[in-house]
Structure 1
Amino acid sequence: MNTSRFGHIGSYLPGDTFRSRLELRLTGMHRPVRAGIAGSQHTGAESIVMSQVYEDDVFGEDEIIYSGQGGRDLKTGHQISPQTENDRNLALMKSAETGLPVRVLRKVFDDEFGTEVFRYEGLYCVTGFEYGPGKSGVNVWRFRLVPVRFGV
């Protein structure tokens, strides 16, 4: 049974916030409680979470550079071993091939509540990827995502 869900979920819109990874899972916005990439190498990536833990991630207004999964030291956040073509990284590669949109969620500080939340940034397409040395000198996958613009 394929339970992949691409695109928007329910009535959630960009800018909506979620208090925890568990809430993301319960709402269907991002199913894994820990992993940053939801999906598989067969169907593509449904969603990603930018949790400010990978040093090579870059969030920009017109594009995102998203580091692949794996090889990160949990204590320092630095890459200590090369990333591999694991199922989650292959999911993002498949998304580049299919063109299906990926939901992007990002951990941000919420001034109103004085805590970190996960904000839905919207739908993005993976337009390319590369493999090479990251900031720590270890090879990482870097995926380029651009916002899906409707009615342009």
Structure 2
Amino acid sequence: MPQDNRQPPIPLNDFRPGDTFANRIALSLSGLHRPRRAGISGTSAHGADSIILAGMYEDDIDAGDRIWYAGHGGRDQKTGKQIADQTLDAYNMALLRNVALGHPVRLIRGATLRNEHAPTEGYRYEGLFQVRSYERVRGKAGFWIWLFYLERLVPDRAG
């Protein structure tokens, strides 16, 4: 269960889409995504502030500006396969909270994603995404997962 030992929020203007990080340690030290292992950063009370899309869950779908993000849990750490149902744990609750509060989340893509949207190495900050909806569905492996639908927020170019 994630602890709520977060620092004050980092101003959004401290990072720009396209900023890159060599590894999870550099990413964590930057403050953009503090957890060094978890893909979801945040709390069930305040919502998620960042997520990493790195190809770790077979049910993730990366369509560039639209993402279907499989929640946390049920994955075997050694094989990477989904072996159990996902529960409504604090990580998944954090993303559900974003829907309720209307708060966007920072998206970071990892090179392990291995698609046309992924960086060639390390991790890249992609910008803000709105968590539009979620549902509990049977994933490809037959287990219940939480699937979150996100859309990129386009900055106001007029201002």
Counterpart for residue 36 of structure 2: 33
TM-score (norm. length: structure 1): 0.89
Q: Which runs of 5+ in 2 are unaligned?
A: 115-119
Aligned positions of 1:2-41 closer than 5 A:
3=7, 5=9, 8=12, 10=14, 12-41=15-44
Match in the other structure for 1:44: 47
More strand by share: 1
TM-score (norm 2): 0.85
1:56 deviation in Å?
A: 0.6
Alpha-carbon spacing, 1:7–1:130, altered in 2? closer, same or farther (3 Å): farther
Partner residue in 1 for 2:128: 123
- Name the counterpart of 1:61: 64
Q: 1:94 to 1:51 in 2, by over 3 A?
A: same
Contact preservation (8 Å) 1:130, 1:142: yes
C-alpha contact 2:10 2:32 (8 A) present in aligned 1: no
Number of residue pairs the alignment of both structures matches: 148
Q: Which residue number corresponds to residue 139 of structure 2?
A: 134
Which 4+ runs in 1 deviate beyond 4 A? none
Secondary structure of 1:116's aligned partner: coil
One of 138, 144, 147 as aligned partner of 2:149: 144
Question: CA RMSD of the aligned region, Å?
Answer: 2.2
1:52, CA displacement in angstroms? 1.2
What code does the residue aligned with 1:118 have? Y
